[in-house]
Structure 1
Amino acid sequence: MQDLPIVLDRAAATPLAVQLADGLRAAAVGGALRPGDRLPSTRGLATTLRVSRTVTAAAYDQLLAEGWVAGRVGAGTFVTAVPGPAPAGPAAPAGPRPHAEPSVLDPGRPCVAALDPAMWRRAWRAAADPPPDDRPRADGLPAFHDAVTGHLLRHRGLTPPAGTVLATAGTSAAVAELARLLPAGATVAVEEPGYPRAVSALRAAGLRVLGVPVDDDGLVVDAVPAGCAAVYTTPAHQFPTAVRLSAARRVALVGRARAEDFLVIEDDYDGELRYDVAPLPLLAALAPAHVVHLGTASKILSPTLGVGWAVAPPAVVAAWRDLRARTGTRPSPAGQLVLTALATHGDLSRHLRRLRRELRERRALVLDTARTAGWAAQGDPAGAHLVLRPPEGERAAIAAAARRGVAVRGLADYHRDGPGTSGLVVGYAAGTRAELTAALAALVG
């Protein structure tokens, strides 16, 4: 199997099980696998590819359903025929078939359909008004700092002290920069399941990453090991389980950060999106000397801007500035100018009100669809994704949805050491309302 061209993209919208099935199918079409060849065990292949066994088992189930591999009791799974370039799949059900994008349920995509085109054009025109700058600004533009400060005060209840705001290229990029500020080989605790890009950024910096379980109250603070240099968490709307960190655990986490002198990285990637009561206090508001707060425009506007922000303790800000001075790394000012224009003219606040209304209604649509199908749902009234639990289980539901032309991710994709929980991570922000409706109908069958 090490010689087979199997490449899995963990950042792609297509579930890993679907990617693996496609890769094995392509290997057979290309001649790398031939009739009579024995496939590795699901456990062995999972170890080789560094994925959970749930992923490999789902891929094999799909290939078994297509009929070109067969299982032999006590012997394994064997290639029995060479498939066509595309899976034949079962016959299409009677009636019209949904024509949703494969990634319309991707939890990482924002609701650009809620953007007012006139507002968007107006902001870009305003961003072109200032003359070109002739010097790099490692911290970001001063006007952007002011816009972020006002935004955080109005929408997140945080008042950043002067000199603590930095422009970033988004939360993932910020985590990658922060990772380089930590001691080489230091231990960082992350949520399990959690955000794969953050884990990759930390590992790329040579840090030791340890998973800490998540339950219905968020990160299990008592399970954070001693001796950590930092803890990475998504407390407002945990990714991917969609729960929030309880008030008691927020207090416990910042208490340990003070007592043990570690840094808390608070990824507030979609904290502006809440649909019930006021949010719980930010960790940065509870312990500003030990928390780096990260925000982004990608989930509330568009990744087109490529801009985010950080609020950090003065010592971290100084080290961050020094890193950028030494490496020449800095976020592009273009996105900062656009977001500043949106905030200055009040368009950003108006957009957020419109976005919350739209996503609240989309969330209700997901819940209604799940309830009608007899599926359980989990998630706080916040953000742009939920976790759904179909009666047949995660693996079977993903395979069935793929056969109907809809890609959806499972919690297994977000576990590092084997799935401890299962469910479908369903985003509802991408595409139009009609596309979402069609994708949900196909998802539940």
Structure 2
Amino acid sequence: MDRATSALGDSRRGVQVELPLAVDRESGVALAVQVGDQLRAAMRGGALQAGERLPSSRRLAAALAVSRTVVTEAYQQLYAEGWLDGRHGSGTYVADLVPGPAAPEREPPGLPVAPEPEPGPGWIDLRPGHPWVHGYDEAAWRRAWRSVGEFSPASRPDPYGLPALRAQLAEHLRRARGVPASAANVLVTRGTGHGLDLVAATLLKPGDLAGVEEPGYPTARTVFAARGAEIVPVPVDDHGVIVEALPAGLRLLYTTPAHQYPVGGRLPIPRRERLLAWARRTGALVVEDDYDAEFRYDVAPLPALYGLDPERVVLLGTLSKSLSPDVGLGWLLASPRLLDAIAARRRTLGDRTSGPVQHAVATLLRNGDLDRHLRRLRLEYARRRAAVVALLGDRVKGDTAGLHVLVELPGPAVPEIARRAYEHGVLLDTTARHHHGPLRVHGLVLGYGSAALHEVKRGCAVIAELIRRTC
């Protein structure tokens, strides 16, 4: 093994950083990869910090007794991943966006899960389910909350929600989703999970069979199981739930037809019609999570299942992706009879959604501010989605909508790539936690909602390189 110590000058602080680098010519790993990995680890760990200058490729090659091509290739890869910046006539510098040092004791032994506390500045978070919360119109937000001063708190909150908000939501859903709803069909919730629990608490008895897509939304399984239901995994393909595979005896079926989570397919019209025919024939209720329906890129959204049969479908929606999870507001559309049963249960339990929050959201809808915000978000997310597709290519599935894609990979490669991405400061999710039983779909569930565009590009460049090496 050849070792060299290089003095890396810092043009800002006027100091020299002693950084030991080593190349092993017998390891079977390309020398350029070895150099790149060690430099990346030094930046990740804090030995090299943002703004520090690296030696020229000629100088470092001489110190390591390797060809200049080896160092040039290593630098080029780090440039592509966003770790380095080049300054014309000045040299190569550590980029200002280098993540801070990772705490070794927080690194998980297997699949990377989010460390506690949440990752701080410098990490690239490409986990799904997190939206961009920095692009809202601050003036519109302040107007909405000033209007709350006109709101008179009720001594007995309406279990259906504020009438003004229910009417605004019905109008919004008619425009955005083509859903023929009125305020009488709308109940205001605190989000999708809350809506699921209201339906489960009202309809499910211990031992009832609840179908959940496989792979699918883990929260749905958790909510139904907490109510005593037996979870029945229902297989999906690239288009969504497979109707012909639906088992007998289901009390309800949870599905995400607008953008299947996490595979990303959208349920075609013929299959939607077969699904509704199945529901009428069996008496089962379809719980439709309108997940990601507001963010489509290549095609127009298909009609909601609820609009095709309001008697057999409950439609759930939320503002967590379009505004912020912190707002804590969603909606549930159902037949008036089911809505009455849910409202009666809420009244008994004292369950409610914040009145001031409802009033503020009603103002955003009434003024058209939420619609304008959604238009801005679609443009922002479309740029990130394009970057993901450009960098990860043919392995990407489910990119026509929403804030996540599936990067399909051979099963054995998935945990290794996720682990290595974590070491590079990139947080990912995999399909493993979205299965109730044995894994059917293997890959990375990559969310591009919360990371900025430059972070998405850098994170995807890291992933692309790890895929190239591993697969």
Q: Is the shorter-chain TM-score for this pair beyond 0.5, marking a shared fold?
A: yes
1:349 alignment partner in structure 2:
371
Which residue in the other structure is 2:129 paired with?
108
How does the TM-score come out when normalised to structure 2? 0.72
Q: 1:305 to 1:128 in 2, by over 3 A?
A: farther
Percent identity over paired residues: 41
The equivalent of 1:378 in structure 2 is: 397
Which residue in the other structure is 1:151 paired with? 172
Conserved 8 A contact 1:305-1:334: no
Name whichever structure is richer in strand by fraction: 2
Amino acid at match of 1:298: S
Q: 2:319 aligns with which of 291, 297, 306?
A: 297
Distance 1:340 1:103 in 2: 34
Deviations 1:44-77 (A, max 9, x none): xxxxxxxxxxxxxxxxxxxxxxxxxxxxxxxxxx
Tell me if structure 2 keeps the 8 A contact 1:113–1:432.
Answer: no
Q: Does 1:132 align with 2:153?
A: yes
Deviation at 1:90, TM superposition (A): 6.0
The CA deviation at 1:163 is 1.4
Alignment of 1:237-316 (within 5 A): 237-316=259-338
Q: Which residue pairs with 2:406 in the alignment?
A: 387
Aligned to 1:5: none
In structure 1, the partner of 2:194 is 173
Q: Could you tell me which residue of structure 2 aligns to residue 443 of structure 1?
A: 463
Contact (CA 8 Å) 1:297, 1:306: kept in 2 or not?
A: yes
Query: Secondary structure of the equivalent of 2:287?
Result: strand
Q: Contact 1:165–1:312 at 8 Å: present in 2 too?
A: yes
Structure 1 runs not aligned, ≥5 long: 1-88
The residue type equivalent to 2:161 in the other structure is G
How much does 1:162 deviate? Answer: 4.5
Tell me which of 429, 438, 449 is aligned to 1:418: 438
Change (3 A) 1:390 1:186: closer
Give, in angstroms, the shift of residue 396 of structure 1.
Answer: 1.9
Higher mean Cα deviation, 228-237 or 89-98?
Answer: 89-98
Tell me how far 1:188 sits from its aligned partner.
0.9
Q: How much does 1:324 deviate?
A: 0.8
Question: Matched residue of 2:147: which SS?
Answer: helix
The 3-state SS of whatever aligns with 1:229 is strand
Could you tell me which amino acid in structure 2 is paired with residue 305 of structure 1?
V
Residue 135 of structure 1 and its aligned partner are, at CA, apart by: 2.4
SS, match of residue 163 in structure 1: helix
Q: Is the 1:147–1:343 contact (alpha carbons within 8 Å) kept by the matching residues of 2? A: yes
Residue of structure 2 aligned with 1:335, choices 354, 357, 362: 357
Return the letter of the residue paired with 1:260.
Answer: T
SS across alignment from 2:254: strand
Structure number with greater CO (CA < 8 Å, separation at least 6) is 1
Q: What is the DSSP-based 3-state SS (H/G/I as helix, E as strand, rest coil) of the residue aligned with 2:378?
A: helix
Alpha-carbon offset, residue 433 of structure 1: 2.0
Query: 8 Å contact 2:297–2:401 — kept in the other structure?
Result: yes
State yes or no: 1:358 paired with 2:380.
yes
Distance 2:122 2:243 in 1: 38
Counterpart of 1:437 in structure 2: which amino acid?
K
Q: What corresponds to 1:49 in structure 2? A: none
Alpha carbons 1:324, 1:330 under 8 Å: kept: yes
The root-mean-square deviation of aligned C-alpha atoms, in Å, is: 1.9
Q: Which runs of 5+ in 2 are unaligned?
A: 1-39, 44-73, 84-94, 100-120, 466-471
Count of residue pairs brought into register by the alignment: 354
Q: Secondary structure at the match of 1:310?
A: strand
1:436 deviation in Å? 2.4
Taking the aligned partners of 1:138 and 1:191, their CA distance within structure 2 comes to: 30
Query: 324-333 or 116-125: which moved more?
Result: 116-125
User: Could you tell me whether the CA contact under 8 Å between 2:124 and 2:455 is conserved in 1?
Assistant: no
- Equivalent positions of 1:189-200 (< 5 A) are 189-200=211-222
Tell me the alpha carbon deviations over residues 286-345 of structure 1, each in whole angstroms, 9 at most, x when there is no partner: 111010000100011101110000110122111101111211112222321221111111
Say whether residues 1:427 and 2:447 are aligned partners.
yes
2:307 partner letter: A
Which entry has the higher C-alpha Rg, 1 or 2? 2
Measured in 2, the distance between the counterparts of 1:102 and 1:201 equals 31
Q: Tell me which amino acid in the other structure corresponds to 2:187.
A: L
- Compare 124-133 and 351-360 and name the one that shifted more: 124-133
Post-superposition Cα deviations, 1:260-296, rounded to whole Å, max 9, x if no partner, equal 1111000013211111222111100111101000010
What letter is aligned with 1:312? A
Q: 1:414 offset after TM fit, Å?
A: 0.7
Using a 3 Å threshold, how does the CA distance of structure 1 residues 157 and 230 change in structure 2: closer, same or farther? same
Query: Is 1:398 aligned to residue 398 of structure 2?
Result: no
Distance apart, 1:101 and its partner CA: 5.1
Kindly state the Cα deviation for residue 380 of structure 1 after the two structures are TM-superposed: 4.1
Written as runs of structure 1 = structure 2, the 5 A alignment for 1:220-239 is 220-239=242-261
TM-score, reference length from structure 1: 0.76
